[in-house]
Amino acid sequence: MKATFISAFAVAAVLGGAAQAQDKITFEYWYGLSGYLGDVVQKTCDRFNAAQDTYEIHCVGQEGYANAVQNTIAAFRAGQHPTIVQSFDAGTPDLMMSGQFYPVYEMMADYDIDIDWTDYFPGISNYYATSKGDMVAMPFNSSTAVMYYNIDDLAAAGWNRPPETWEEFEQILNDLDAVQPDHCHYGYSPSSWVDLEQFSMAHGIPVATRNNGYDGTDAEYVFNTTLHAKHMENQLRWYKEGLAEIKTTQGGLNTRDAFAQNICSFYFGSIAGHAGVHATAVEGLNWDVAMLPVYEGTERKNTVVGGAALWVLAGKSEDEYRGAAEYLKFLATPDSALFWSTNTGYIPVTLSGYQKMMDEGFYDKAPYKGREVAIESLTYTPVTPLTRGLRLGGFMQTRKEWTAEMEAAFAGQKPMQEALDVAAERSNKVLRNFERTYKGKTFP
């Protein structure tokens, strides 16, 4: 009888637990990060679920930002879309114009959750805000581009500091070539995000007219006529002179891994790669990061945010929206900022999160020392109409057009200026299609 009682009690406990789980309000979140970073996203979901017993978030990886957006569009048509989707920076204009989202500033107000929107770094928040400054998506995994450099290699070439200008960068490449002719000085792979977008922001030059599209969908690309064209000519020349080497995963190691393995002295990439370099660096690698160089005579401006934001989608229930609001509130805390930055390499998106990390000495020593450079770069100047980001529809396609043409130029198939002209022409066709699709509409 005692055994029967214990067995019955155990069954009742299991059933009671199941009933309790069923009573929770569930909602879905689709994210684009994969691999280790995707695992950390899952941990943020687990932390939220463990922190309260009213809501349960189901987080589903989509193996890439583009997949997350495309799968969400397909699910929308079937009425099976998630409550939250993680979309990268390039998808912002398209999501904004779709209208199929619940602006986070409205949602938080509707559910009486107080968020200090001024707490977000302007260089981050402006990318995801309306023309009035209202946040439509919640910044999450944010980054900017930095220069990674080998301290010992620079010292061997007679330099005790990283280059501040591109002219100095070229001089260092030549100095490195004089003392280490068989070494890879600069690991390079064409990157629209680094070479075009971040470069243009740091120099305060336009990627497109109409203040990079913020002032209207009738914008046109002009990157083939700006300082960007000279910069890409220089990149190609350095490659032809043997001062730079193309490094891609297709040919072996990518630029980050080539740097971490002490094969190349320089590479340019996201600050989010900082943790990856630490994790894969060969023993004894002496390295650091610095802000992107600028050309002489340029007044340096702030760089712009990369990464992704969290969008709350239309067509969900009030309970699901309440759960989404609570999850975003949970992510907005300084403790969540510390957890996320510690485990990923991404930077905090709020001033309070950054201050908490400073107060705890987060940036004082490895493996985190150096990541503050990204904050310095993002906040170097107040944002201007040309450094707040891009509002250019179909920008995912533009990145592909630019990359394809740069690869053609580096392969010797056409001159660099011709490649830039073709990239701009094809990208403008993308803009005209976007303009026709949303004729008569303006960005919020």
Written as tens digits, the pLDDT of the chain (444 aa) is: 334 333 444 444 444 444 444 589 999 999 999 988 999 999 999 999 999 999 999 999 998 888 888 898 889 888 899 999 999 888 889 888 888 999 999 999 999 999 999 999 888 888 899 888 899 999 999 999 999 999 999 999 999 999 999 999 999 999 999 999 999 999 999 999 999 999 999 999 999 999 999 999 999 999 999 999 999 999 999 999 999 999 987 667 899 999 999 999 999 999 999 988 999 999 999 999 999 999 999 999 999 998 899 999 999 999 999 999 999 999 999 999 889 998 888 989 999 989 999 999 999 988 999 999 999 999 999 999 999 999 999 998 999 999 999 999 999 999 999 999 999 999 999 999 999 999 988 888
Cα–Cα distance between 354 and 375 in angstroms, integer? Answer: 9
Angle at 72 between CA 67 and CA 77, to 5 degrees: 135
- Per the CB < 8 A criterion, the answer to whether 322 and 56 are in contact is no
pLDDT at 91: 85
- pLDDT at residue number 15: 44
What CATH code would you report for 145-303+393-437? 3.40.190.10
How many residues belong to the chain?
444
| Cβ atoms 427, 398 nearer than 8 A | yes
Neighbouring residues of 77: CB distance < 8 A, sequence distance ≥ 6: none
Q: pLDDT of 215-237, one tens digit each? A: 999 999 999 999 999 999 999 99
Question: What CA–CA distances, in Å, run from 212 to 12, 66, 136, 218, 392?
Answer: 62, 22, 19, 10, 7
Give the whole-angstrom CA distance, residue 2 versus residue 268: 69
Contact (CB, 8 A) for 375 and 354: yes
The residue ranges of every structural domain in the chain are 21-142+305-359, 145-303+393-437
H or E element at residue 344: helix 334-344
Of the options 3.40.50.720, 3.40.190.10, 3.40.50.920, 3.40.1280.10, the CATH number for the domain spanning 21-142+305-359: 3.40.190.10
pTM above 0.85, yes or no: yes
pLDDT of residue 251: 64
* CA gap 27, 10 in Å, rounded: 29
Q: Which residues pair with 307 in a beta bridge?
A: 142
Domains 21-142+305-359 and 145-303+393-437 share a fold: yes
Residues 58 and 26 sit within 8 Å (Cβ to Cβ): yes
C-alpha distance from residue 233 to each of 29, 185, 409 (Å): 43, 18, 10
- Mapping DSSP to helix (H, G, I), strand (E, B) and coil, where does residue 17 land? helix
Chain segment 2-28, per-residue pLDDT in tens = 343 334 444 444 444 444 445 899 999
